[in-house]
């Protein structure tokens, strides 16, 4: 073993012990809550009451015990998604204590906490591999990767005929509402940018095809002038970050560090500089601490308020079900929230949509359990694949899941396709060649 490899292995062993991971998990919970105190100073829709600080601390401390499940569980796709959801629910429980919106706060908090626990049970611990009835050979699988590149290039070329505009990130909202793509192009854009290209990047990088991996990152970046989203702009940098983290750390620690480190950096930058959101430290804090995490937590607060006094959807927001029902909402829920609260297009996770909006607080834990079982299929489909590969190939989906319903993540963003790709992959692909 070479000296650098030995140093990395020793560092990984030290950092990835169960005790070290437990400490990191508890520190992450503390940083999440402290970050929300600072977020409240910039965002009017997040409230913080110093008078109720100790209540919030008590609630967060009790709920942080749930994070110990991540010290006990082995890595899987459900672990990756579940930890992001844990952070989101912890944030909501902190916000819930001081929220000025009128709804049943105690019931909402209990429902959210129980929902997460029921979600995590299958997401973390259902791991039995699916029997592979179809397995591609190594050669055919590499042909499949080439096909993914061809489909991606064609999708980019076609989508760019509808919109291709190089604008600064600050100006994207001036143009984004006018974007309109045909249904087929919209689905292909979601599948390619969220699933197919991240999957191809992970394969090429771990197989040692560095130039092809670099090409994938360029293709991903080309979705920014097409879709005009921050998500598209930062996806290549995010995949590089996961690649570096997973090279130094074991997969579980990489998952925790992927949120903890960026959030901690944003918090330190904004506290030490006292900057506004218009400054460089402020823009970083806005992107990571506010947009990436706090917004997903606050969406639960807003959905709880709205559906405390409006009809439930009973899943009619799912596009294929809407024609079959008398849905009380003819527009997507994100638009309904935008028109009601004026905070912009407010999509939300499965806990808000398939949970609070669809069935209400009492039944929301059951939909969370069902959602955990759905995502556990990803654990079973990817069983036997290297943890680092699963982490890198699924790198985009946890962020997707924080911000859209499960049905949208599975269909529009291609999580179902990723599960199928994992399922048919030859398990010998990453074995050393003799």
Span 254-299, pLDDT tens digits: 999 999 999 999 999 888 887 777 788 888 888 888 888 888 999 9
Which tokens hold the place of 271?
């506290």
The answer to whether 273 and 281 are in contact (CB under 8 A) is yes
DSSP-derived secondary structure for 333-355? HHHHHHHHH-SS-----TIIIII
Residue 60 has a CB neighbour count (10 Å cut-off) of 19
The domain in which residue 82 lies consists of 3-132+240-424
Within-domain flag for 213: no
To the nearest whole number, what is the mean pLDDT of the chain? Answer: 88
> In angstroms, rounded to a whole number, what is the distance separating the alpha carbons of residues 112 and 116?
6
CA 326/CA 330 separation, integer angstroms: 9
CA distances from 224 to 239, 278, 410 (A): 15, 22, 22
- What confidence score (pLDDT) does residue 3 get? 57
pLDDT at 14: 54
- Flag whether 155 is in a domain: no
Confidence (pTM): 0.90
- Residue 253: inside a domain, yes or no? yes
Helices and strands: H and E segment counts in the chain: 22, 0
Which pLDDT value is given to residue 405?
A: 92
| Greatest extent of the chain over all pairs of C-alpha atoms, in Å | 67
Mean pLDDT value of segment 37-43? 84
Average pLDDT, stretch 400-417?
A: 93
Band of pLDDT at residue 333, cut at 50, 70 and 90: confident
% of the chain exceeding 90 in pLDDT: 57
Residue 371 lies in a domain: yes
**Mean pLDDT along residues 119-134:** 93
Residue 372 lies in a domain: yes
Residue 137 forms part of a structural domain: no
pLDDT for the residue 331? 82
Tell me the C-alpha distance between 210 and 402, whole Å. 30
202 in any annotated domain: no
Mean predicted confidence (pLDDT) in 339-354: 85
pLDDT at 288: 86
Reply yes or no on whether the pLDDT at 371 is more than 90: yes
Q: Is residue 212 domain-resident?
A: no
pLDDT higher for 213 or 176? Answer: 213
The number of distinct structural domains making up the chain is 1
Rounded Cα distance, 297 and 28, in Å = 15
Q: For residue 44, what pLDDT is reported?
A: 74
The residue with greater pLDDT, 13 or 223, is 223
Question: In this predicted model, which residue has the larger pLDDT, 320 or 37?
Answer: 37
């Amino acid at each position: 073993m070479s000296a650098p490899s030995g140093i990395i292995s020793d560092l990984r062993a030290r950092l990835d012990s169960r005790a070290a991971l437990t400490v990191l998990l508890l520190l992450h919970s503390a940083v999440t809550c402290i970050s929300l105190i600072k977020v409240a100073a910039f965002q009017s829709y997040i409230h913080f009451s110093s008078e109720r600080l100790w209540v919030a601390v008590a609630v967060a401390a009790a709920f942080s015990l749930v994070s110990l499940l991540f010290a006990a569980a082995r890595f899987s796709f459900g672990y990756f998604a579940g930890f992001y959801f844990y952070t989101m629910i912890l944030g909501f429980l902190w916000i819930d204590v001081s929220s000025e919106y009128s709804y049943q706060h105690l019931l909402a908090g209990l429902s959210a906490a129980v929902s997460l626990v029921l979600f995590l049970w299958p997401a973390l611990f259902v791991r039995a591999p699916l029997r592979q009835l179809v397995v591609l050979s190594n050669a055919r699988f590499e042909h499949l990767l080439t096909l993914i590149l061809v489909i991606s290039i064609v999708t980019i070329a076609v989508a760019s005929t509808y919109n291709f505009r190089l604008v600064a990130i600050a100006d994207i909202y001036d143009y984004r509402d006018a974007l309109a793509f045909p249904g087929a192009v919209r689905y292909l854009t979601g599948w390619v940018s969220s699933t197919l290209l991240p999957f191809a990047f992970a394969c090429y990088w771990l197989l040692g095809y560095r130039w092809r991996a670099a090409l994938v990152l360029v293709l991903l970046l080309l979705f920014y002038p097409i879709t005009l989203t921050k998500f598209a702009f930062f996806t290549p940098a995010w995949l590089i970050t996961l690649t570096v983290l997973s090279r130094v750390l074991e997969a579980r620690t990489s998952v925790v560090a992927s949120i903890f480190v960026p959030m901690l950096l944003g918090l330190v930058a904004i506290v030490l500089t006292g900057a506004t959101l218009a400054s460089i430290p402020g823009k970083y804090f806005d992107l990571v601490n506010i947009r990436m995490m706090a917004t997903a937590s606050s969406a639960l607060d807003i959905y709880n308020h709205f559906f405390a006094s409006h009809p439930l959807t009973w899943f009619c927001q799912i596009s294929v079900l809407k024609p079959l029902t008398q849905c009380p909402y003819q527009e997507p829920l994100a638009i309904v929230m935008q028109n009601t609260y004026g905070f912009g297009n407010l999509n939300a996770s499965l806990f808000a949509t398939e949970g609070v909006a669809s069935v209400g607080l009492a039944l929301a834990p059951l939909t969370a359990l069902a959602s955990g079982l759905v995502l556990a299929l990803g654990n079973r489909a990817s069983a036997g694949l290297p943890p680092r590969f699963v982490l890198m190939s699924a790198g985009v989906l946890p962020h997707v899941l924080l911000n859209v319903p499960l049905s949208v993540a599975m269909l529009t963003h291609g999580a179902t396709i990723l599960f199928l790709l994992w399922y048919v992959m030859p398990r010998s692909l990453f074995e050393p060649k003799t």
